[in-house]
């Protein structure tokens, strides 16, 4: 049976970035069929190849981050390498880069130069602070974006310093916004026939999800601070200890859901108590209502409590580790743990594809290429028509 065509199969992407933000955009486009050509300098791999835990000397993050991508080596610091990229640009829809602003210009690879070769080219540029403004030349990792975007200040507990979320959320948010911008630019190009620059800053990507942080301050005189597991004025919404010494999350802050929670706890009259009967009252009496709920959850094991809550339609859940994720039948049914063949590690588990399209869903065809330059011949010889002797010379000159 012939495989379903993927929705982005008509797009060719050249990914020049390293580490997280740029390559995560490439991964998302590749998941839906774009031909993504990952470029690394010869002899100097993307550091992501060695990040995270490893098995048999192989990094376990790389096969996920670089899945579905083709791998080539190319030295963009040299004029010959720049010339080869310009040849690639003639047949490319999208360039992804996440270098410090000015780097592409220094390499004679500015958008102006590349779009003169291919006016339909879209350049996706992700950096700490964007391509303009007084901070544009500053180095900026995701951690700095999280800090200056406002997220770190509201993360953690009020009696402790600002905390990091356990994943690289700043980079990932920037990648998500960059990918949205990229697809918007592709859609617009269908009408205008022209490419453009997609300029995404890490700090702006974080700041954009900070809800009412600014009007809270300017219009209500309120500075959001670290609040641990609660939301100011919103209750009940917290984690609760159980008899088997674990925690469950319960979110029952709307009136209807709170009524169902009270029924689940066998105390329906609690919903009529004036201390808890309205959203405002529950916010004012947050500590008291949380203590009442935890007395109930501590009387039973987590799974027993969750079954009762689910039956009553109260949003709740166990706090998962990798173990619980792997054991959960819903993850399995939704194909959120994929197993992909890896040439050295065999069956390799990785996260499934998000979002899920009903008619043209994405697909993971292969794990990230373990060998740098695995697709050099395919791209340089097959696509650009270079001869074998020419490639040998370029390799000796450290261009590829």
Q: What is the pLDDT of residues 103-153, one digit of tens each?
A: 999 999 999 999 999 999 999 999 999 999 999 999 989 999 999 999 999
pLDDT on residue 279:
93
For residue 218, being part of any structural domain is answered with no
> Same structural domain for residues 260 and 125?
no
Of all residues in the chain, what percent carry a pLDDT higher than 70? 100
Cis peptide bond prior to 236, omega within 30° of 0: yes
pLDDT on residue 52:
85
pTM of the model: 0.93
pLDDT over threshold 60, residue 242: yes
Query: Considering 31, 171, 199, 290, which one is annotated as catalytic?
Result: 171
pLDDT on residue 370:
86
- Give CA–CA dist 153/298, Å, rounded: 32
> Same structural domain for residues 290 and 170?
no
- Give CA–CA dist 71/283, Å, rounded: 54
CATH code of the domain in which 288 resides:
3.30.1540.10
Higher-confidence position of 232 and 353: 353
Tokens of 209: 């999800």
pLDDT over threshold 90, residue 350: yes
171 is catalytic: yes
What is the count of structural domains for the chain?
2
pLDDT on residue 173:
97
- Structural domain harbouring 194: 12-209+333-396
> Measuring CA to CA, how many Å separate 14 from each of 5, 63, 90, 399?
21, 18, 11, 17
For residue 47, being part of any structural domain is answered with yes
- Give CA–CA dist 343/352, Å, rounded: 20
Instruction: Give me the numbers of helices (H) and strands (E) for the chain, helices first please.
Output: 17, 13
Tokens of 219: 């219009």
Closest CA to 350 of 62, 71, 69: 62
Domain boundary among 288, 318, 348: 318
- Give CA–CA dist 244/300, Å, rounded: 7
pLDDT over threshold 70, residue 256: yes
Mean pLDDT of 50-56: 90
Domain boundary among 318, 351, 376: 318
Q: Which residues of 150-169 are buried (b: 16+ CB within 10 A; e: fewer)?
A: bbbbbbbeeeeeeebeeebb
For residue 323, being part of any structural domain is answered with no
Residues in the chain: 400
Mean pLDDT of 374-392: 94
> Same structural domain for residues 147 and 21?
yes
- Give CA–CA dist 178/196, Å, rounded: 13
- Give CA–CA dist 275/163, Å, rounded: 33
What band does 233 get if pLDDT is binned at 50, 70 and 90?
A: confident
Q: Which tens digit of pLDDT belongs to each residue from 301-327?
A: 999 999 999 999 999 999 999 999 999
Tokens of 395: 């390799």
Mean pLDDT of 260-279: 95
pLDDT on residue 2:
61
Q: Do the strands 237-241 and 247-251 form a parallel or antiparallel pair, or are they unpaired? A: antiparallel
> Same structural domain for residues 104 and 57?
yes
What band does 94 get if pLDDT is binned at 50, 70 and 90?
A: very high
Mean pLDDT of 285-297: 96
Mean pLDDT of 284-291: 96
């Amino acid at each position: 049976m012939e495989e379903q065509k993927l929705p982005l199969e008509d797009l060719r992407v050249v990914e020049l970035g390293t580490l997280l933000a740029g390559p995560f955009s490439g991964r998302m486009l590749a998941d839906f069929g774009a031909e993504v050509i990952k470029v690394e300098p010869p002899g100097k791999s993307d550091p992501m190849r060695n990040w995270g835990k490893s098995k048999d000397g192989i990094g376990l993050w790389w096969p996920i981050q670089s899945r579905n991508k083709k791998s080539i080596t190319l030295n963009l610091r040299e004029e010959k390498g720049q010339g080869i990229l310009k040849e690639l640009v003639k047949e490319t829809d999208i360039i992804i880069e996440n270098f410090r602003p000015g780097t592409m210009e220094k390499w004679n690879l500015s958008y102006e130069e590349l779009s003169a070769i291919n006016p339909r080219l879209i350049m996706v540029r992700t950096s700490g602070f964007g391509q303009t403004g007084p901070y544009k030349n500053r180095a900026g990792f995701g951690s700095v974006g999280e800090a200056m975007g406002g997220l770190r200040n509201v993360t953690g507990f009020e009696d402790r310093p600002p905390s990091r979320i356990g994943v690289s959320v700043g980079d990932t948010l920037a990648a998500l916004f960059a990918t949205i911008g990229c697809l918007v630019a592709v859609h617009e190009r269908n009408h205008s026939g022209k490419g453009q620059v997609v300029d995404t800053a890490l700090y702006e990507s974080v700041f954009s999800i900070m809800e009412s942080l600014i009007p809270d301050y300017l219009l209500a005189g309120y500075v959001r601070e670290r609040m641990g597991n609660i939301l100011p004025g919103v209750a009940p919404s917290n984690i609760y200890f159980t008899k088997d010494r674990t925690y469950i999350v319960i979110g029952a802050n709307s009136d209807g859901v709170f009524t169902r929670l009270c029924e689940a706890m066998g105390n329906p009259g609690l919903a009529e108590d004036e201390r808890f009967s309205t959203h405002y009252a529950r916010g004012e009496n947050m500590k008291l209502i949380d203590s009442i709920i935890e007395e109930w959850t501590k009387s039973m094991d987590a799974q027993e409590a969750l079954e009762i809550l689910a039956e009553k339609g109260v949003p709740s859940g166990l706090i998962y580790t990798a173990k619980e994720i792997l054991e959960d039948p819903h993850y399995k049914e939704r194909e959120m743990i994929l197993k992909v063949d890896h040439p050295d590690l065999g069956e390799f588990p990785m996260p499934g594809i998000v979002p899920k399209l009903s008619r043209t869903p994405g697909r993971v065809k292969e794990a990230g290429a373990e060998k740098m330059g695995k697709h050099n011949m395919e791209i340089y010889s097959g696509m650009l028509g270079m001869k074998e002797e020419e490639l040998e010379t370029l390799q000796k000159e450290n261009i590829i």
